[in-house]
C-alpha cells in the first residue's frame, strides 16, 4: 500500500490505549484549559485520526510562515497549509506548561486533547496578512476562509498534543466518520491495490457520479473512496447528514457493488482553493489512496480562484516527488444531449454550449428552494428527492 506522507507508518495522535486515555482524561480535568476555536478543534481531530501524519501537534510561528511562503516546514517537510492553534489571547498560558484543549462544538466543552505548550507567540498583523494571502490568495474578508482565519486571533500556541476523542464526528456520523487507519484497513480488507479518492462538501449529482466512474476506469483503480467533509461549512451549504443520505442512495442504486467506500472526515472547510487541494491530496495519501481527483474550482468559493488553479499548482508549485499520490485532472463535466450521457467537456470538441445540460450551483439551490424538479440529466431522481425534502423542511 502507498506509504503515508513523510513517514513509513501513520502517526495518529489519538491515545489508543484505553487505560492511558482514561488516565489523561482524569488529569486533564485539573489542568489549565482553554476553549479552542472550531478550526483548532478540527485540526486536533485530523491530527488524532492520522490524516496529518507526520505532524506531532500545532505549528509555531516560524513553521506557519515557512509553510505559507514555501510549502515547507523549517526542517524541510513538504506541507501546504499551516496547522495552527490560534487564540484571541494567551489565557495566561506560558511555554513549558501542559494544558487541556476544550471542544467548542459540544455542550459543556469537554476536553478534546492535552497539549504540551512549547511556545506562546503573537503574530503581527503583517505576519497574519502574509499567511492569509499566501494560503488563501486574498485578504478579502468576503472570503469565508479568510474571515474564519482572521477571527481566531493572532496568538499562536504551539506544541505536541495527545487527542482523547474525535469530538462530535464519531458520535453524530458513526456510520461515516473514519480515521485514516480505518480507511487503510478497509482498503486492505477489500484487497484493493489502487484507490482513487473523491473529495466532496456537496451532494453528488450525475456529473460527480460519472466523474468517479471515469477516474476509476482511467486509473485502473480497484475502487473509489468517496470522502466527504463532515465539519463546518459556510452558510447556505447543504449540511452533512443530508449529503450523506444523498450520496449513500446514489451509490446504492448506481454503482457496481463493492466498488465504493463511503467515508467522512472531521475538518472545517477552508475554501482555500489550490492550497487546500494540495492538503486534500496529502491526507488522502495518508488514508492509503493512490490517486486523487482534482476537478474544476476544487475547494474554491465565489470567483476567488481560476477554474483550474487547483490543478496547475501541482505543476507549478508542488516539488516533484513531494507527494506519492497521483492526481487525476478532471475537466468540466456535463450531460451531453448529443451523446445522451455525462462527458468531460474536453472530450466533446464538436459540441456547442447548447449541446450540454449545465446548471450552476446557485440555480440548483434556487430550484430546490422553489420545489422545482431537477432535470434527470443533472441529478438522479432518488437523490433529488432527498434534497427537495430537505429544502421543503427548511421552508416550512
Residue 202 bears catalytic tag: yes
Q: What is the distance between the alpha carbons of residues 177 and 166, in angstroms, rounded to a whole number?
A: 9
* Cell numbers describing residue 59: 505549528
Pairing of strands 260-265, 356-357: unpaired
The b-or-e profile of 154-166 (16+ CB within 10 A means b, else e) is bbbbbbbbbbbbb
SS3 for 17? Answer: coil
143 dihedral zone (left: phi>0; alpha: psi -120 to 50; beta): beta
346 given a catalytic annotation:
no
- Between helices 240-254 and 381-395, what is the axis angle to 10°? 160
For residue 302, the 8-state DSSP code is T
Active-site residue among 102, 178, 184, 201?
A: 201
Rg from Cα positions in the chain: 21
- In sequence order, what are the residues at sequence separation of 6 or more whose Cβ sits closer than 8 angstroms to the Cβ of residue 198? 208, 211, 212, 215, 224, 225, 226, 227, 293
The residue from 202, 248, 296, 329 that is catalytic is: 202
**CA–CA separation, 280 vs 292, rounded Å?**
8
Measured distance CA(127)–CA(125) in Å, rounded: 5
Active site residues: 201-202
Amino acid at each position: 500500500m502507498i506509504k503515508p506522507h513523510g513517514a513509513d507508518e501513520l502517526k495518529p495522535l489519538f491515545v489508543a490505549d484505553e487505560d492511558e486515555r482514561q488516565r489523561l482524561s482524569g488529569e486533564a480535568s485539573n489542568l489549565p484549559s482553554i476553549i479552542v476555536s472550531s478550526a483548532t478543534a478540527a485540526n486536533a481531530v485530523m491530527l488524532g485520526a492520522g490524516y496529518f501524519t507526520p505532524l506531532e501537534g500545532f505549528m509555531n510561528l516560524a513553521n506557519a510562515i515557512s509553510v505559507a511562503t514555501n510549502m515547507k516546514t523549517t526542517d524541510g517537510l513538504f506541507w501546504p497549509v499551516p496547522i495552527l492553534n490560534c487564540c484571541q489571547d494567551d489565557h495566561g498560558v506560558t511555554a513549558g506548561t501542559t494544558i487541556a484543549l476544550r471542544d467548542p462544538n459540544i455542550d459543556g466543552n469537554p476536553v478534546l486533547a492535552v497539549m504540551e505548550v512549547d511556545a506562546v507567540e503573537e503574530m503581527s498583523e503583517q505576519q497574519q496578512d502574509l499567511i492569509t494571502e499566501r494560503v488563501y490568495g486574498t485578504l478579502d474578508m468576503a472570503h469565508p476562509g479568510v474571515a474564519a482565519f482572521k477571527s481566531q486571533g493572532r496568538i499562536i500556541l504551539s506544541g505536541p498534543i495527545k487527542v482523547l476523542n474525535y469530538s462530535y464526528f464519531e458520535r453524530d456520523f458513526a456510520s461515516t466518520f473514519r480515521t485514516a487507519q480505518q480507511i487503510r484497513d478497509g482498503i486492505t480488507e477489500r484487497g484493493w491495490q489502487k484507490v482513487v479518492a473523491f473529495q466532496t462538501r456537496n451532494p453528488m449529482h450525475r456529473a460527480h457520479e460519472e466523474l468517479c466512474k471515469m477516474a476509476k476506469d482511467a486509473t485502473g483503480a480497484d475502487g473509489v473512496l468517496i470522502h466527504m467533509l463532515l465539519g463546518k461549512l459556510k452558510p447556505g451549504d447543504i449540511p452533512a447528514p443530508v449529503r450523506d443520505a444523498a450520496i449513500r442512495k446514489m451509490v446504492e442504486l448506481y454503482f457496481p457493488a463493492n466498488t465504493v467506500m463511503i467515508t467522512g472526515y472531521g475538518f472545517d472547510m477552508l475554501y482555500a482553493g489550490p492550497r487546500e487541494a494540495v492538503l486534500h491530496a496529502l491526507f488522502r495519501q495518508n488514508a492509503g489512496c493512490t490517486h486523487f481527483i482534482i476537478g474544476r474550482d476544487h475547494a474554491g468559493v465565489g470567483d476567488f480562484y481560476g477554474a483550474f488553479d487547483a490543478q496547475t499548482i501541482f505543476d507549478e508549485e508542488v516539488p516533484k516527488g513531494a507527494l506519492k499520490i497521483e492526481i487525476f485532472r478532471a475537466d468540466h463535466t456535463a450531460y451531453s444531449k448529443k451523446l445522451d450521457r455525462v462527458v468531460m467537456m474536453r472530450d466533446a470538441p464538436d459540441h456547442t454550449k447548447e449541446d450540454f445540460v449545465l446548471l450552476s450551483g446557485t440555480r440548483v439551490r434556487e430550484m430546490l428552494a422553489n420545489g422545482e424538479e431537477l432535470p434527470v440529466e443533472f441529478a438522479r431522481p432518488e437523490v433529488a428527492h432527498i434534497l427537495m425534502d430537505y429544502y421543503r423542511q427548511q421552508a416550512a
